[in-house]
């Protein structure tokens, strides 16, 4: 593993759960080495997460003879180099989202991985929520009708509305590529592509509400005064209209400045004969409307997600309506990854670096649309 921050812990929990929940001994991980630039954190992370060794140099991971799979959980500007090096050393790789700070780098990462024939995954874990995979099945089976007319999705959080939140890499365009659009919007764009198809054109509007933030004080100094301020050059909020290749119309939103919203990821799909609505704040439920022509029984039904839905056989407590959420999305994502490695699936495991690259292209198109104040085409290749 490269990076020992907040998402590293979620990935380790995911790997540890594979043999327990998916029942295959061959999925048992061996945590060989973790690289983390902050040496204190590296030592702590190795001990707490159960790695045999630690290092402050990521090449110790990408070039280790004991490593089959490299898991990149560093800030976005630190994805490209370790991923390319890992691929060059024929390791399988999972890299967190967004894949890169720009689509050119993302494409190079995808092409290198494809050429090497290794298994590659971008960390769009929300695809692997049971309810979302189920929604995809319903759409593919035509349960919403022959045509999908509309897709609307939004990911809202509120920590960025706090002006006292210190400046971090997420507020720096060079390190993050974009703000809320990259951090939260990348998940929404992935869901749009997963559920509906490729996006042809976008029309975006972006805003930065808090333009500078205090730098975090250095904890090793006795004086805990912030050493200055950092300029925020990314979006706090993005809204965009979409036209899909299949003529579906879409609207997406991503913001970390929506007071009261914690992890509100929601989407609605409207087809010619039915609709689906989902919100991660109620992760065990999906609302479905299918038009049976009756006039006296209209309205959405709430379906409780459980053992009869995707990944249902791995539920800890196999009862509909309880116990699923963010952690399961990571466990299911890593299950697809590790099973793909076992079955030597190469580029056949999704969401792959290809998906990561396509999402980076849409992010860029939205940024260009906002700057140029017009609709912008997403490149077909
Ligand atoms: N899929 C999800 O739901 C989800 C959630 C949160 C974060 N993420 C993604 O995960 C990635 C990391 O995010 P995070 O929230 O864990 O960030 P974080 O800032 O908490 O952790 C990143 C860690 O990387 C370390 N690091 C920095 N440079 C390094 C280097 N050269 N070598 C080794 N370690 C280095 C930092 O010291 C830090 O501990 C980002 O791409 C982010 O978008 C995904």
* Ligand 1 touching residue 2 (CB < 6 A): yes
What is the atom index within ligand 1 of the atom nearest the CA of 76? 41
Backbone angles phi, psi at 161, to 5 degrees: -75, -15
DSSP 241-292: EEEETTS-EEEEEEES--TT-SSEEEEEEEESSEEEEEETTSTTEEEEEE--
CATH architecture of residue range(s) 6-126: 3-Layer(aba) Sandwich (3.40)
Tell the residue nearest (CA) to atom 43 of ligand 1.
Answer: 97
Distance CA 314, CA 23 (A): 8
Distance CA 330, CA 128 (A): 7
What's the gap in Å between 158 CA and the centre of ligand 1?
A: 20
Residue position matching structure tokens 């805990």? 224
What is the atom index within ligand 1 of the atom nearest the CA of 124? 1
The residue among 332, 299, 270, 335 whose CA lies nearest residue 131 is: 332
Distance CA 341, CA 117 (A): 11
Given this model, what pLDDT does residue 221 score? 63
Tell me the pLDDT of the chain averaged across its residues. 96
The distance from CA 78 to its chain's CA centroid, rounded to whole angstroms, is 16
224 or 297, higher pLDDT? 297
Encoding tokens for residue 188?
Answer: 């929404």
For the domain 129-322+358-372, what is the CATH superfamily, name and number?
Answer: Dihydrodipicolinate Reductase; domain 2 (3.30.360.10)
Other CB atoms within 10 A of residue 223 CB: 7
pLDDT at 10 > cutoff 80: yes
What is the three-class DSSP state of 2?
A: strand
Q: How far is CA 257 from CA 59, 205, 366, in A?
A: 37, 15, 19
Q: Up-side HSE of residue 207: CA atoms within 13 Å toward CB?
A: 12
Sheet holding 69-72, edge to edge: 69-72, 92-95, 120-122
DSSP state letter for 181: I
Helix (H) or strand (E) holding 193: helix 186-195
219 or 43, higher pLDDT? 43
Distance CA 277, CA 196 (A): 14
Distance CA 158, CA 224 (A): 26
What is the atom index within ligand 1 of the atom nearest the CA of 7? 16
Tell the residue nearest (CA) to atom 21 of ligand 1.
Answer: 5
Given this model, what pLDDT does residue 144 score? 98
Q: How far is CA 351 from CA 29, 145, 235, in A?
A: 21, 26, 25
pLDDT at 223 > cutoff 70: no
What is the three-class DSSP state of 323?
A: coil
Please, is 177 exposed, middle or buried when counting C-beta atoms within 10 Å of its C-beta (0-12, 13-18, 19+)?
A: buried
Select from 34, 83, 96 the residue to mutate for testing ligand 1; criterion: most ligand atoms less than 8 Å from CB: 96
Contact 289, 190 (CB under 8 A): no
The pTM score is: 0.97
* Ligand 1 touching residue 216 (CB < 6 A): no
Terminal alpha carbon distance of the chain = 31
> How large is the average pLDDT for residues 321-336?
94
Predicted confidence (pLDDT) per residue in 48-92, tens digit:
999 999 999 999 999 999 999 999 999 999 999 999 999 999 999
Predicted confidence (pLDDT) per residue in 236-266, tens digit:
999 999 999 999 999 999 999 999 999 999 9
Strands (E), 133-197: 148-156
The residue among 97, 112, 240, 230 whose CA lies nearest residue 173 is: 230
Residue extents of the structural domains in the chain: 6-126, 129-322+358-372
């Amino acid at each position: 593993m490269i990076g020992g921050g907040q998402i590293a812990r979620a990935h380790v929990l995911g790997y540890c759960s594979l043999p327990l929940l998916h029942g295959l001994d061959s999925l048992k991980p061996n945590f060989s080495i973790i690289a983390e630039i902050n040496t204190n954190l590296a030592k702590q992370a190795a001990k707490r997460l159960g790695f045999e060794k630690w290092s402050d140099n990521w090449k110790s991971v990408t070039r280790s003879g004991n490593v089959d799979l490299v898991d990149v959980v560093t800030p976005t500007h630190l994805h490209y180099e370790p991923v390319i090096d890992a691929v060059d050393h024929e390791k399988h790789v999972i890299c967190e989202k967004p894949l890169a700070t720009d689509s050119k780098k993302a494409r190079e990462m995808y092409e290198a991985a494809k050429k090497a024939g290794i298994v590659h995954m971008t960390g769009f874990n929300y695809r692997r929520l049971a309810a979302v995979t189920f929604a995809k099945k319903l759409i593919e089976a035509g349960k919403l009708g022959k045509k999908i007319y509309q897709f609307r999705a939004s990911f809202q959080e509120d920590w960025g509305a706090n002006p006292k939140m210190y400046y971090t890499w997420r507020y720096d365009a060079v390190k993050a590529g974009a703000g809320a659009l990259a951090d939260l919007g990348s998940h929404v764009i992935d869901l749009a592509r997963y559920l509906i198809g490729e996006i042809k054109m976008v029309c975006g509007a972006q805003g930065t509400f808090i333009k500078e933030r205090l730098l975090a004080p250095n904890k090793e100094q006795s004086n805990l005064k912030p050493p200055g301020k950092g300029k925020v050059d990314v979006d706090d909020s993005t809204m965009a209209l979409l036209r899909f290749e299949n003529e579906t119309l879409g609207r997406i939103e991503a913001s970390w400045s929506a007071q009261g919203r914690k992890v509100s990821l929601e989407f609605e799909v409207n087809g010619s004969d039915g609709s689906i609505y989902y919100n991660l704040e109620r992760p065990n439920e999906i609302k479905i409307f299918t038009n049976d022509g009756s006039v006296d029984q209209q309205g959405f039904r709430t379906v409780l997600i459980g053992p009869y839905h995707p990944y249902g056989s791995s539920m800890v407590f196999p009862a509909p309506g309880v116990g699923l959420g963010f952690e399961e999305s990571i466990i299911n994502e890593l299950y697809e990854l590790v099973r793909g490695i076992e079955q030597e699936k190469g580029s056949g495991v999704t969401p792959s670096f290809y998906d990561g690259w396509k999402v980076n292209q849409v992010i860029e198109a939205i940024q260009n649309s906002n700057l140029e104040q017009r609709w912008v085409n997403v490149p077909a290749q």
